Amino acid sequence: MTGFLSGLGQKLAERWLAVLVLPGALFEAVLWLAAVLGHRHPWDVPFLTDRAAAQTRALDGKPVAQALLLVALLLGAFGAGLGANALAGPVVRCWFMRGPRWLARPLVERRRNRWDGAHRDFETATAGEGESAADFQRRRGELAARRNAIALARPFRPTWMGDQMDAVVTRVHNRYGIDLDAAWPRLWLVVPDHVRATIGDARAALSGAATTAAWGVLYLGTAAITLWWPAALVGAVTIAVGHRRGRAATGTLAQVCEATVDLYGVELAKALNVPLADGQVTPRAGFTLTELLRKGT
């Protein structure tokens, strides 16, 4: 037990160091640079060197002050890490937002018009004169890929990430007649542990990407307060990296959630004694399952 607790403590310390302290220390370094250089000396290395030397001399021969400074830096890094983690939630909500309506409506209409055009091209595609069946199928596949790159179902949200998760609900309902909002908590209880772990990994990747973007927001805030424009550049790059990682994580999470329904929807129906035709979840069975789970509400 002692060895287990020791190993657990070491893992927690490593995670605390990697997730909070190290990014927080980097943020503190940028914050110090911004405070020292400001908008008047954005790239003045000699000025920065002189200020750093002066601050170092002020601590010479003062071990107590040095120790207090180290503790303050560690606490500051930890606090910055907590702040970034707290901002991750609003970042995710922004990525998956539905409104405000005045902002969302033109974005949704733009995405919907693009999707409708791509879907129309896919639906109306016909084989050209002299085109082989294999070439035609390949061309239809390219048209489908172009449409699906916009969204997997007709867009209803202003962001790609929001539509990716909405598409899972839409596709599951269209194929199986299941209301995924009602079914997911019960489905979670019947899937194996390795499936839960896979979904958890995808959600953790999304959370990590949102935290990266949140650090970018903090860097932008630093630039706005200190007027040190390089911090804005760092913030913009960090947000872009977080957003790119967030798109990848959202795509993975959407695929895993939909695959979970495909593979274990039958198990949920069996657990609730919903009759199945040929062992498959049909729209009729899915409707019965949904009505059972909604309990009339």
What confidence tens digit (pLDDT) does each residue in 248-267 have?
999 999 999 999 999 999 99
181 in a structural domain = yes
104 in a structural domain = no
pLDDT of residue 18: 57
- SS3 string, 181-195, reads HHHHHHHHHHCCHHH
**To which H or E segment does residue 107 belong?**
helix 101-123
Residue 162 to residue 249: CA distance in whole angstroms: 12
72 in a structural domain = no
**To which H or E segment does residue 97 belong?**
none
274 in a structural domain = yes
This prediction has a pTM of: 0.83
End-to-end Cα, the chain, rounded Å:
48
194 in a structural domain = yes
Can you give the residue range of the structural domain that contains 230? 159-297
57 in a structural domain = no
9 in a structural domain = no
Q: State how many domains the chain has.
A: 1
More confidently predicted of 158 and 297: 158
Asked whether the beta carbons of 20 and 77 are under 8 A apart, the reply is yes
Show Cβ contacts of residue 236 under 8 Å, excluding neighbours closer than 6 positions.
216, 220
Residue 258 to residue 256: CA distance in whole angstroms: 6
Mean pLDDT of 100-116: 89
Show Cβ contacts of residue 127 under 8 Å, excluding neighbours closer than 6 positions.
133, 136
Segment 152-195, tens digit of pLDDT? 999 999 999 999 999 999 999 999 999 999 999 999 999 999 99
Asked whether the beta carbons of 170 and 254 are under 8 A apart, the reply is no
Residue 125 to residue 225: CA distance in whole angstroms: 55
Q: Does position 282 have pLDDT exceeding 50, yes or no?
A: yes
Q: Does position 98 have pLDDT exceeding 70, yes or no?
A: yes
Q: Which of 276, 272, 273 is closest to 284 using CA atoms?
A: 276
- DSSP classification of residue 129: T
CB atoms within 10 A of CB 263: 12
236 in a structural domain = yes
Per cent of the chain over pLDDT 70 is 93
Mean pLDDT of 64-89: 85
Amino acid residing at 102 = W
Asked whether the beta carbons of 268 and 187 are under 8 A apart, the reply is yes
